[in-house]
Structure 1
Amino acid sequence: MVLPAARAGQRLRVNGKLIPFSSWPTKIGPKGNASLQSLLFSLDPWAIIDQTIKTSCSAAARPEALACMNQARDFFEGAVDTQRVSARPLALYYCFMNLVKAFCLSRGTRPTFNKAQHGLSEMLRAPGNRELTDAFLRAFVSPNGSGDLQNFSEFMAALTGTGLAAIQDYDVPVLLPQILPGHRLWSSAANKKERFIAVHDIRPYLNKATRELWLNLYFVADDLSRIGVTITRFLAESKLGPAFVQVTCDEVDSASRELICFQQVAPIVCPNTKYANSLQSLFDSIRGLLWATVSTVPPYRRHYVYLRPASEDTQTLPQLLSIYILSYYLGSITRYRPHHFPAINDGVFGPRIQDFISGQAQQFLYLLASEFARREIAKPSIL
């Protein structure tokens, strides 16, 4: 198949700098103009969350938000304490739950979570079914019929702008592969192909004559061929199509591996030559399709797309929501039926579950701290 040529343009530069992808590339100044934001390093993301609450949360909601944050931090210590193995899943969930309440209060989506409920219920498909492999989570609309807020749907609304429109069930086996760190443990246990494909680069391009901006996404060709994914399937299951199409590319990575380029079909037109003012909307066009890992080495954020079968599309959640809902399931088992947890750990997905419990506290904390601050937060590599 003959590929179309890439659209004519040049790499976008602002103040002479190439622009890397960021969920929050700019901040808006008092005159309404955008200025670039750099990556912010912090050994203590709790301090950033605390500062954000104090500066952005309403005065009425601030004491509640701060109390939730402080309790989340105490639960965090329990979640990362390797000596408290049996209680770690429960501590992990309550850490996340309190952080989520503080986040929603800071965003001003609700004035209080005083009588909020989990908004989730874990169940088995039928009596006698096995935990984990036959389990699902039912998520409820917020507020419910009695007017009580439901934490999960409220978190969804604060992150995405829209909560649940109706009761939704999420199968635990469908949630497991959506967790990025440790994904290959799931792939090995389930005897299935990997679903995450690393993004090699995300580049904004500009046509100065038309003031058009668009994105080019680059992937290593071997990453697709290694797991037998065709371009058509890749575009469909990553949800990049039809907004992106493959175009010609003659580039290679640092190891001389061939790259594939997908170009955004519909550019955005900037109203003037202050291109930084349009960066946020440009990057927002792809943000919902990306997963990220936070690391202590450059580039500090690595992005991925997730290939999901069509049958699982309605149960695929944004990254933070999938972490949150799975932590609820494991916390609920630990709290109400702890005798089932050893069987889960001894099962084929046991290493996947242990990896989740051990590794998600830091990931969730840094990712949500970034949401609080609306800026990429990373842990520095040298103390």
Structure 2
Amino acid sequence: MRWVDARVGQAINIRQRPPTFSFFPTFQGATREGVHSTLFATEPWNIVQHILEKLSDANARRQALAFLVQSRDFFTAAQNSDVSAAKPLLLYYSFLNLAKCLCVKRKGTALGMVQHGLSEKLPTTPGAIHGSVSIDILKSPATSAFVMFANVLGANLPQPAATKTHVEIRSQDFLAQVLIGHRIYCQADNIKERFISLDRIEYMQDVGTQEAWLRVRAYADDFTRLGYGLTDLSKHLGAAGVWRNVNCSVVIDGRRIIEAETVATIRYGHRPSQVLSQISIDARPRLWRSVTAYPPYRKYYLYVPSAAQVLLNQLLTIYLATFYFGSITRYKPEQFDQILKSPIGPFVFEFFSNQPTQFLYLMASEFMEQEVAKAAIT
């Protein structure tokens, strides 16, 4: 996509401060929108419990709290388990129960029968380390935990081919979409890195027309060092025509900055804060993030997929990878041992060392609809 001049405007300020980009930037106050601050917690489980205790439906509340107890116990047990033993399986059941909690919370009613909605398959080729996961999309969506989880996240799922009810995704495709340990995985699988760090995401406005939009910037050399084109910034932030590359002359410490902005704007009435949440929702599907211990407590990334890859929501990708390794651990432990000894073994260890806590904080943010980060207390 060609470069064009940026839309004339300025960064949004609310009460003399620019709001930090977030999936959950605002909340509805008594008379107007308020801007969220980051919520700090050393035990995000307690935050989730507090939210679930507010459910008005008694059956839903009891069920959700029971799911939460199981999730927390599985999580705690996993921390004391070895990766080569039960950790993957314990974490999967922790994530499954936490996902069910979120489903109950968003629906407001208790769940009926729930199935995994997933099945794992390893190749029969001797020495092969990559398999696939089959996702039940259409056969039993009302009982599939994975489909229900996707629905409450507002995440799109791939549609099966004609006459099919399932979609099969190769493990190398969804494992490559796991942010934590991505570079280790790429080196092991001999593929090019696909995550590119974003330097800044800003809410912009034109005060005269009362229009708001999003602008993103990144370092040009992060694209060129991996062999990606600079126009890939807009290309992979959304569907065709949603973003455009804009001219930028900024250089920081000798490094060129490139920028992109949304093509469409959103009109607001009295205040730009009225539309911040909608702007974030529109941008969310193509952004990955990590929880950090320093301001602004979230780091955002762009993913550059291969032509054949099916992109999944970040939380769904973590969930799918945990199911995959957990299922192999349960039914084919000897094959999981082979995976740990394979070139991607270091990635698997990294995944189970750091990803669980990331998932927990990202999920706590979903329950709160506010960013939750680890309290930096020593």
Into which bin does the TM-score normalised by the smaller protein fall? over 0.9
Verify the 8 A CA contact 1:320 1:364 in the aligned structure 2. yes
Q: Kindly state the Cα deviation for residue 46 of structure 1 after the two structures are TM-superposed.
A: 0.3
Separation of aligned partners in 1, 2:5 and 2:237: 22
| Residue of structure 2 in register with 1:124 after alignment | 122
Q: Kindly state the Cα deviation for residue 283 of structure 1 after the two structures are TM-superposed.
A: 1.4
Normalised TM-score (structure 1): 0.92
Distance 1:216 1:237, change over 3 A: closer
| Residue of structure 2 in register with 1:159 after alignment | 153
Alignment coverage as a number of residue pairs: 373
| Residue of structure 2 in register with 1:81 after alignment | 80
Structure 1 residues 42-191: aligned runs within 5 Å: 42-56=41-55, 58-81=57-80, 85-108=84-107, 111-113=110-112, 115-125=113-123, 127-128=124-125, 132-133=129-130, 135-141=131-137, 144=140, 149-160=143-154, 166-191=165-190
Separation of aligned partners in 2, 1:163 and 1:136: 16
Q: Secondary structure at the match of 2:119?
A: strand
Q: Secondary structure at the match of 1:356?
A: helix
Q: Secondary structure at the match of 1:311?
A: coil
Verify the 8 A CA contact 1:42 1:379 in the aligned structure 2. yes
Q: Kindly state the Cα deviation for residue 4 of structure 1 after the two structures are TM-superposed.
A: 2.1
Separation of aligned partners in 1, 2:281 and 2:142: 31
Separation of aligned partners in 2, 1:380 and 1:142: 42
Give 2:266's aligned amino acid: I
Q: Kindly state the Cα deviation for residue 205 of structure 1 after the two structures are TM-superposed.
A: 1.1
Verify the 8 A CA contact 1:186 1:352 in the aligned structure 2. yes
Aligned with residue 260 of structure 1, among 258, 261, 279: 258
1:275 aligns to 2:272 (yes or no)? yes
Give 1:227's aligned amino acid: L
Verify the 8 A CA contact 2:78 2:91 in the aligned structure 1. yes
Distance 1:249 1:221, change over 3 A: same
Separation of aligned partners in 1, 2:367 and 2:95: 14
Percent identical: 34
Detail structure 1 runs of 4+ shifted over 6 Å in the superposition.
none
Distance 1:292 1:132, change over 3 A: same
Aligned with residue 331 of structure 1, among 316, 326, 346: 326
Q: Return 5+ residue gaps in structure 2 as ranges.
A: 160-164
| Residue of structure 2 in register with 1:284 after alignment | 281
Aligned with residue 295 of structure 1, among 265, 272, 292: 292
Give 1:382's aligned amino acid: I
Separation of aligned partners in 2, 1:194 and 1:58: 46
Q: Secondary structure at the match of 1:14?
A: coil
Give 2:271's aligned amino acid: K
Verify the 8 A CA contact 2:57 2:109 in the aligned structure 1. no
| Residue of structure 1 in register with 2:162 after alignment | none
Q: Return 5+ residue gaps in structure 1 as ranges.
A: none
Separation of aligned partners in 2, 1:299 and 1:52: 24
Verify the 8 A CA contact 1:142 1:154 in the aligned structure 2. no
| Residue of structure 2 in register with 1:15 after alignment | 15
Separation of aligned partners in 2, 1:185 and 1:349: 8
Q: Kindly state the Cα deviation for residue 236 of structure 1 after the two structures are TM-superposed.
A: 3.2
| Residue of structure 2 in register with 1:222 after alignment | 221
Verify the 8 A CA contact 1:140 1:167 in the aligned structure 2. yes
Q: Secondary structure at the match of 1:178?
A: coil
Q: Kindly state the Cα deviation for residue 129 of structure 1 after the two structures are TM-superposed.
A: 5.6
Larger mean CA deviation between 163-172 and 301-310 belongs to 163-172
| Deviations 1:156-210 (CA, angstroms, capped at 9, x unpaired) | 1111166675421111011111000110011111222110011100111111110
Separation of aligned partners in 2, 1:269 and 1:299: 27
Give 2:10's aligned amino acid: Q
Distance 1:269 1:262, change over 3 A: same
Verify the 8 A CA contact 1:142 1:163 in the aligned structure 2. no
Give 2:367's aligned amino acid: F
| Residue of structure 2 in register with 1:4 after alignment | 4
Separation of aligned partners in 1, 2:27 and 2:277: 9
Q: Kindly state the Cα deviation for residue 148 of structure 1 after the two structures are TM-superposed.
A: 6.2
Normalised TM-score (structure 2): 0.93
Verify the 8 A CA contact 1:109 1:158 in the aligned structure 2. no
Separation of aligned partners in 1, 2:183 and 2:83: 26
Cα RMSD over matched residues?
2.1
Separation of aligned partners in 1, 2:199 and 2:74: 36
Separation of aligned partners in 2, 1:236 and 1:3: 12
Separation of aligned partners in 2, 1:294 and 1:128: 38
Q: Secondary structure at the match of 1:328?
A: helix
Q: Kindly state the Cα deviation for residue 382 of structure 1 after the two structures are TM-superposed.
A: 2.5
Give 1:231's aligned amino acid: L
